[in-house]
Amino acid sequence: MPTTEIAYKTYFDEFEVKSLVLEPTINYSLFKTEIKDKQAKQLKVFSKLETGLPMFSGTSFGSQVHFQNAYQTPVQRWFPYREGYSTMLVNAFIKELKITGNVFDPFSGSGTTLLASRINNLSSFGIDANPISVLVATVKNEQYNKSDIENILLEIERIKSFAKSNEKYQTLFDLADKVFNQEVLQSMLQFKEHIKEIENEKTRNLFFVGWLSIIEDVSNIKKEGNGIKYKNRKRTPTGYTNINKDVWEKQTFPDNKFDFVKTKLLKHLEKIIFDIESNYGNCEKKPTIFKGSCLNFDKFFLDEIQFTFFSPPYCNCFDYFEIHKVELWLGDFVTNKEEFRLLRNTGFRSNTNSLNNKPIIYKNENLENLILLFNSEKLWNSKIPNVVRGYFDDTYTLLNKLYRQTTQGGYVGIVVGNSAYSGVIIPTDILIAEIAKKIGFKVKSIFVTRHLTTSSQQKQELEFLKNYLRESIVLLKK
């Protein structure tokens, strides 16, 4: 197959991308006698979906779509949002596509697209169902003047002089004793009560984000893989072993737990005030951010959109509310299990906890052919076929609404990863392209940025299909 080149210049050169070359499609006839019937049937669907699509190598974007350096990047480091991407990535697309109008992110997360829009002095909108995301994106995109800085510095000095209280603080989070050392928990709750009493709203919100950001550092949990893991549970060559929690805490925390928590909080707040005083991202434009479902964004604003750039939850059963469960409960964003359940149901149908009995309207023949290949005995949950159907039903609804509100000649950029269930790959990038074309979009480019891994159980079964297990940027044009 001859290669096709597309010359991207100027701002994409930041990624050392001077031309992006079409990746050759796997030759189905070459492998059909060597691979299993299920793999052959998948290849047939993939080849059909890829026909005519502008597929390009985008490996230079790889480190930016899964942004490992967020923890040391000004403003992005204010909250450890592991699902985020780089402002540099969004900036490159804004510059290359010559965006001058409104920008939108229907999954605003920690506010990266909105921050990049501000840096480029563009008006922007964001929406997210997770109240933590709304708070973090709002704080990161706030305008802090000289008076605000003085307030922040004053509150930092107050915290420095803070002493441990003898009061017994309470939380509704029923797993708090398992997640925290008792002295650490009491210290965290004492600082939370103090922060809630700060009169200035900007300062209060900023300090609350700082407080939320240290939870993982001072607790017995860490975000890993597809959920939360306990730090006192260690992986060994022969499997996992549990270290007694009291023993682990004695090895991990100093004697003075209150000073330990206070130091963590102050160090994080000092990073934040450093970024603010350095005027990072300080410009005239301020985004408008809504709390709600991306599927209802048209109920919040009706402005035309020139550029939408986002990363939806991947169709991999990863529960983004579950991974922020500790912050949601300890931060009083939810106060009972019913509230937590309802919050999960406002999200995209990307996991088994998000299914909310919504009817599935959009039907896709290629998707159904892949779902038919699922081995029900290998699926860890019988709801997975409907999760996959619901995911693309929600995708269809979102893209339809985006098409109606996007300006003629406007763009939609989507960072997305493919997934696999029981040896069957769900090629989200090219399925999104198919849906978009049916709605009326032109598929401008699909940049394959990096290849993903899968479970050891699926590796052998997916050997000939592993190139389709990837993370891509799908660029659409109206």
Query: Same domain, yes or no, for 33 and 96?
Result: yes
- The two beta strands, 124-128 and 288-291, are parallel
Give the pLDDT of residue 375.
Answer: 86
Assigned domain for 449 exists: yes
Residue 79 and residue 150 share a domain = no
327, part of any domain:
no
Q: Is 138 within a domain?
A: no
195 vs 293: CA distance, rounded Å: 29
Q: Domain end: 225, 254, 277, which one? A: 277
Q: Is the domain of 33 the same as that of 9?
A: yes
pLDDT band for position 456 (cuts 50, 70, 90): low
Q: What is the pLDDT of residue 17?
A: 46
DSSP assignment of 302-326, as one string? ---EEEEEE-PPPSS---HHHHTHH
Residue-wise pLDDT for 184-210, tens only, equals 999 999 999 999 999 999 999 999 999
pLDDT band at 10 (very low <50, low <70, confident <90, very high): very low
Which residue, 285, 291, 302, is CA-closest to 99?
285
| Model pLDDT for residues 425-442, shown as the tens digit of each residue | 999 999 999 999 999 999
When pLDDT is cut at 50, 70 and 90, the band that residue 22 belongs to is: very low
Return the structure tokens found at 165.
């209280």
Q: What is the per-residue pLDDT across 211-227, written as a single tens digit (0 to 9) for each?
A: 999 999 999 998 876 77
User: Can you say how many angstroms the Cα of residue 272 is from the centroid of all Cα atoms in its chain?
Assistant: 21
Residue 13: predicted pLDDT:
52
Residue 72 falls within a domain, yes or no? yes
pLDDT class of 6 with cuts at 50, 70, 90 = very low
In this prediction, residue 376 carries a pLDDT of 86
Last residue of a domain, one of 277, 298, 330: 277
pLDDT digits (tens, 9 = 90+) for 143-171: 898 999 999 999 999 999 999 999 999 99
For residue 33, name the pLDDT band (cuts at 50, 70, 90).
very low
Q: Are residues 118 and 236 in the same domain?
A: no
For CA atoms 279, 281, 287, 289, the dihedral sign is negative
Q: For residue 39, what are the domain limits?
A: 5-129+288-318+365-477
Residue with tokens 């008792």: 182
Same domain, 238 and 375: no
3-class state of residue 94 by DSSP: helix
pLDDT in tens, 59-71: 889 888 877 777 7
- Could you give the number of structural domains in the chain? 2
Residues 310 and 253 in one domain: no
238-294 pLDDT per residue, tens? 777 888 989 999 999 999 999 999 999 999 999 999 999 987 655 678 899 999 999
- Establish if 123 belongs to a structural domain: yes
Of 224, 246, 277, the one marking the end of a domain is 277
pLDDT grade, residue 459 (50/70/90)? low
Residue 332 lies in a domain: no
Looking at the fold, whether 88 and 174 belong to one and the same domain comes out as no
In this predicted structure, what is the pLDDT of residue 282? 55
Return phi, psi of residue 322, to 5°. -65, -40
pLDDT at 356 over 60: yes
Look at residue 252 and tell me if it is in a domain: yes
Residue 457 banded pLDDT, cuts 50, 70, 90: low
pTM of the model: 0.90
pLDDT of residue 224: 79
165-184 per-position pLDDT tens digit: 999 999 999 999 999 999 99
Q: Are residues 81 and 199 in the same domain?
A: no
- What are 292-328's pLDDT values in tens digits? 999 999 999 999 999 999 999 999 888 889 889 999 9
46-57 residue pLDDT tens:
999 999 999 998
Residues 113 and 79 both lie in one domain: yes
The 3-state DSSP class for residue 79 equals coil
Question: Once rounded to an integer, what is the mean pLDDT over residues 97-102?
Answer: 97
Is 185 in the same domain as 236?
Answer: yes
Q: Are residues 251 and 295 in the same domain?
A: no
pLDDT of 68 reads: 74
Residue 41 sits in a domain whose CATH number is 3.40.50.150
Residues 117 and 159 in one domain: no
The amino acid that residue 26 corresponds to is: I
pLDDT value, residue 29: 52
Q: What pLDDT is attached to residue 241?
A: 85
- Is-contact 375 423, C-beta < 8 A? yes
301 is a domain residue: yes
